[in-house]
Amino acid sequence: MSVLRRVPWWAVGAVVATVAVVTGALPAPEARELAGRVLPVLGFVAALTVVAECCAVAGVFDAATDGAARLARGRRWALWLLLVLVAIASTVVLSLDTTAVLLTPLAIRAGRRVGGGDDRTAVFYALTVVALANTASLLLPVSNLTNLLADHRFATAGVGYVGVMWRPALVAIAVTVAVLAVRGRHRLTGAFEPGERYRPPDRTLLVATAAVVGAMAVGFVSGAPVWLVAGVAAVLLLGLGGWRRGRWPAPVGQLVPWRMLLVVGALFVLVETAQVRGLGDWVAGLAPAGTSTGPLLALAGLATGAANLLNNLPGYLVVEPAAGGDPTRLAAVLIGVGAGPLLTPWASLATVLWLERCRRMLTHVPVRGLLVQGLWLAPLCVLAGVLALG
């Protein structure tokens, strides 16, 4: 057992995925098609992580936290509500992965300021971010990479994505905010001391970094490939940091979570291998036909289970055939893989990235808190979202 504990999962995943491709278990045409869909996703995540590191070094998170604290005027509920609004807007417009990477450090710093250094308040703020990063990701195609995978299917069916998904999206957000407010009510009362105003060590670097991040946000909503926009922003910020500080924000091996990316990439390969061997047909047989409430709930539940067992992106690919091209059934699948992956730490890339950010900043990583929160939110959000389809 001690030997098994020392075996790195990223190496195991890389070896297994390589064997699947080399031996032809995953045929070459399917492997090329999968690479075309997955590599931009992994590149986007890698670039976004670099952007987050550069923002942290430049003081963007500290400056934003200080500004929010002063805008809240010492009221705990006001600061939390500001965080909620920013998390929703960031997720809807910039994607759930952007929220997980860029907003988590801000939330933890804000929570520590409110709690006087107490990590329990910081954990509550961090859990708020990861919840909304997932459940607020249904409104626009750019909000979630699974939405982008499904968007062309809505177009093929002759309907618009937003026209089908706006009600489930708003309901999922409302349920999330209500549940979080009730569960965290004891941390939302009273006042806090804003503290001394933050003074950045290099204001030029701070302003330039914020400008690049703002331009990246515009690029995301412009329709340009998100991986390209994030990649350009990462290169610009590395250049800015090198110019102003003479070094990168972290060693090369720590800038990008390459181990996590290898594991996720290997998971895609294994799932696609199973798909071509009949997994998709078997899953499609599990979902009852029809677009009434019962079949839609069953389909959304199946998608929720696949996301929490595998990850939301490969989970979507597994369950997608069960939708059969019907936009209402496809919407149920998206609700499951969008609002449902809240029960396991690997259920969505956003949650994995959020956990990595938390591990860097918190003495206690809130995995148990994530599970308990997910047990409240996942069933309620998925149920409410499916009912809103009617």
Q: Evaluate the CA torsion angle 359, 362, 364, 367 in order and state its sign.
A: negative
| pLDDT band at residue 145 under the 50/70/90 scheme | confident
Residue linked to tokens 């302003």: 207
Q: What is the pLDDT of residue 2?
A: 43
- Is pLDDT larger for residue 154 or for residue 249? 154
Q: What is the pLDDT of residue 232?
A: 95
Task: Tell which residue, 349, 350, 274, has the closest CA to residue 318.
Answer: 274
Average pLDDT, the chain: 87
Structure tokens at 71: 């805008």
**Residue 346: helix, strand or coil by DSSP?**
coil
Task: Tell which residue, 366, 388, 390, 386, has the closest CA to residue 378.
Answer: 386
Q: What is the pLDDT of residue 363?
A: 67
pLDDT at 362 over 80: no
| Alpha carbons 334 and 168: distance in angstroms, whole number | 10
Burial 142-165 (b: 16+ CB within 10 A, else e): bbbbbbbbbbebbeeeeeebeebb
| Alpha carbons 214 and 93: distance in angstroms, whole number | 12
pLDDT digits (tens, 9 = 90+) for 287-325: 888 889 999 999 999 999 999 998 898 889 889 888 888
Cα 211 to chain centroid distance, Å, stands at 23
| Alpha carbons 123 and 353: distance in angstroms, whole number | 15
| Alpha carbons 214 and 212: distance in angstroms, whole number | 5
Task: Tell which residue, 30, 96, 106, 95, has the closest CA to residue 67.
Answer: 106
Angle at 259 between CA 304 and CA 273, to 5 degrees: 55
| Alpha carbons 260 and 354: distance in angstroms, whole number | 12
pLDDT digits (tens, 9 = 90+) for 2-27: 444 566 767 887 888 888 888 888 88
| pLDDT band at residue 149 under the 50/70/90 scheme | confident
Q: What is the pLDDT of residue 117?
A: 67
- Count other Cβ atoms within 10 Å, centred on residue 55: 25
Q: What is the pLDDT of residue 126?
A: 93
- Measured CA to CA in angstroms, residue 113 lies from 4, 122, 360 at distances of 41, 8, 18
pTM more than 0.85: no
| Alpha carbons 15 and 235: distance in angstroms, whole number | 30
Angle at 12 between CA 339 and CA 359, to 5 degrees: 50
| Alpha carbons 374 and 388: distance in angstroms, whole number | 20
Integer-rounded Cα radius of gyration of the chain = 21
CB-based burial label for 29 (10 Å; 0-12, 13-18, 19+): exposed
Please give the average per-residue pLDDT across 76-90, as a whole number.
91
pLDDT digits (tens, 9 = 90+) for 160-201: 888 999 999 999 999 999 999 999 999 998 888 877 788 888
Total residues belonging to the chain: 390
pLDDT digits (tens, 9 = 90+) for 212-241: 988 988 888 787 888 899 899 999 999 998
Q: What is the pLDDT of residue 7?
A: 62
| Alpha carbons 213 and 89: distance in angstroms, whole number | 15
CB-based contacts of 365, cutoff 8 Å, min separation 6: 355, 358, 359
| Alpha carbons 172 and 137: distance in angstroms, whole number | 9
Q: Are 330 and 287 in contact (CB under 8 A)?
A: no
Q: What is the pLDDT of residue 179?
A: 96
